[in-house]
Amino acid sequence: MKLLRHGPKGRERPALMQADGTVRDLGGVIADLGPDQLAPEALAALARLDAGTLPVVELQRLAVPWRGPGKFIAIGLNYADHAAEAGMALPAEPVVFTKASSCAVGCNHPVVLPQGSVKTDWEVELGVVIGRRARCVSEAEALAHVAGYCVVNDLSEREYQLERGGTWDKGKGCDTFGPIGPWLVTADEVGDPQDLSMWLDVNGVRKQTGSTRTMIFPVAHLVSYLSRFMTLEPGDIITTGTPPGVGMGRKPPEFLRPGDVVTLGIERLGEQRQTVHAWDPALIDG
């Protein structure tokens, strides 16, 4: 299934998209798509619905596909070719940092540059959404805890991340720096998460082309690994690293400016489109 939330801010409604692109309202079945609706039994109940009997709706503003996320966990340097372009050694274990949950926005939300930003960068990534609590799970068990997958743009302010002291987090969690969606695609529909092509364009020019096949640490390993250090709860998201082609790694480096348009997508998971804006607090909560 493709599950989504859409509508005016604060009045989002749950929906599902059928294979032919028809969007069906779920508001008469569930109040919202939240962590409880991501559990395996809840997803199974939605899958049993006769979608053809649900009301047809026209898509409005796309929100984050589920109410959340709770934790927004990120993995750095998880593609060998991206580590090479960054001039960094391959990690022996996953590089873990967090994005503030407040940075999460819908897939087409404006990207608002933070005050003083000079090095905001793009990163197409596979998002993994947890559906069942995971605590010290084995790698063999890990994927049973995944509700589904989605597209993430892990926007990053590189000066804040790398030149301002401390950890990476301050360059990763700025408002609007976590576009998610357009929908959450359930794990059964995606199949193998390690066989998905991905791409990103800026102003119509291809910048990133890659595949989840080249991850250093695959999804099952990441879920198992993280569950040793923290309890993963339904609604948490793990964004799993990016292939080469980020602005920081280009020669000369390229970074986003007001007016730029970023489009990105992952096979079977949909596409995003964002327009970049100078600092404007009114756009953040739109």
Tens digits of per-residue pLDDT, 213-229? Answer: 999 999 999 999 999 99
Is 64 part of any domain? no
Give the pairing of strands 13-17 and 2-6.
antiparallel
Q: Which residues sit opposite 56 in a β-bridge? A: 24
Give per-residue pLDDT as tens, 3-41.
999 999 999 999 999 999 999 999 999 999 999 999 999
The Cα–Cα gap between 264 and 251 comes to 21
Q: Provide the domain count of the chain.
A: 2
Alpha-helical (H) ranges within the chain are: 40-47, 80-85, 139-142, 158-162, 187-190, 219-229, 281-284
Question: CB within 8 A of 191, min separation 6: which ones?
Answer: 268
- Together in a domain, 189 and 270: yes
Structure tokens at 126: 């596979």
Is 63 part of any domain? no
In this structure, the chain runs to a length of 286
Instruction: Answer for the pair 55, 44: CB distance below 8 angstroms, yes or no.
Output: no
- Together in a domain, 38 and 81: no
pTM across the whole model: 0.97
Domain at 99, CATH number: 3.90.850.10
Structure tokens at 119: 């090095």
